[in-house]
Amino acid sequence: LHHPNPHQMPPMATSASVLTLPRLSISPTMPARASPTTTMTRRTRPLRAACAYTLQEGQSRRSHRLPCGLDLEVIAQQPPSPPPTPGRSERPPLVFVHGSFHAAWCWAERWLPFFSHAGFPCFALSLRAQGESSIPSDTVAGTLETHTGDIADFIRKEVPVPPILIGHSFGGLIVQQYISCLQGSEPFHPKLSGAVLVCSVPPSGNSGLVWRYLLTKPIAAIKVTLSLAAKAYANSLPLCKETFFSSQMDDELVLRYLLFAYHLQLT
């Protein structure tokens, strides 16, 4: 249930292969961005100015316009000059898809610098209603199919060669859905060079994991359930760290990440 420690970089993969998966029939939704109050209210305009992510050197931010008129935030980082050594094949672009209540910034913090300096062109997207992306007028930001279609639209229009698609948590489920759509729908879902799942939600959802966790570690499971379902982490820094981060992580760093995601003030 814990997210990877953002201080630890993954070993660089030398190759990746596309997974073969059956077409998914589930349709989970991505909730709209949470407001700082205990009552979940929809904002007509996102709260951004005070907590916008500051780009690192070499990174750029732009918007990708979807056919529906909404904009997706894109944070990009290209490999440094000079170009790759002559005779060495260029590495495929990496397209990063975040999980629930995150945005492109979670990849921009460490993953984009690491992989771009290794020679990979990197693109991190913020899904609808997350980060600097547009907020739809619907009750939920979108379905699994909607988010998958958004990723496909970006790749089709802005990535000239087949990329490696990387998804974390709920973003991993979007990657799996994308793969399941590859057969027979190439005009809508461009081919990939590979796919990577990072602590991904499985096709069956999280229910099996939750029940195993409840039976093997009931006290910890109850605390996590209260933290997530009741959003108790929004009012307790220790509980927030226990739910999402390492206990050794600096409090100020945890607060910094949470401000990007939720615009909260924890105690």
For the chain, what are the domain ranges? Answer: 47-205, 206-267
Contact, 79 vs 85, CB < 8 A?
no
Count other Cβ atoms within 10 Å, centred on residue 48. 12
Q: Residue 46: left if φ>0, alpha if ψ -120 to 50, beta else—which one? A: beta
Q: Is the dihedral of CA 5, 11, 12, 14 positive or negative?
A: negative
Q: Which CATH number fits domain 47-205: 3.40.50.450, 3.40.50.1820, 3.40.50.10490, 3.40.50.300?
A: 3.40.50.1820
Mean pLDDT of the chain: 78
Is 122:76 a contact under the CB 8 Å cutoff? yes
pLDDT of residue 6: 38
The predicted structure's pLDDT at residue 150: 98
Q: Which pTM value belongs to this model?
A: 0.77
What pLDDT score does 233 carry? 78
| Per-residue confidence (pLDDT) for residue 82, from 0 to 100 | 66
- For 23-64, write each residue's pLDDT tens digit: 333 334 444 443 333 222 233 334 343 367 899 999 999 999
- Reply yes or no: is the peptide bond before residue 82 cis, omega within 30 of 0: yes
Q: DSSP H helical segments within the chain, as ranges?
A: 105-108, 111-117, 144-158, 170-180, 207-216, 218-229, 237-244, 251-262
Measured over the CA atoms of residue 221, residue 102, residue 36 and residue 139, the dihedral's sign is negative
With a cut of 70, list the residues of the chain below it in pLDDT.
1-51, 82-89, 185, 262-267
Residue 245's pLDDT is 86
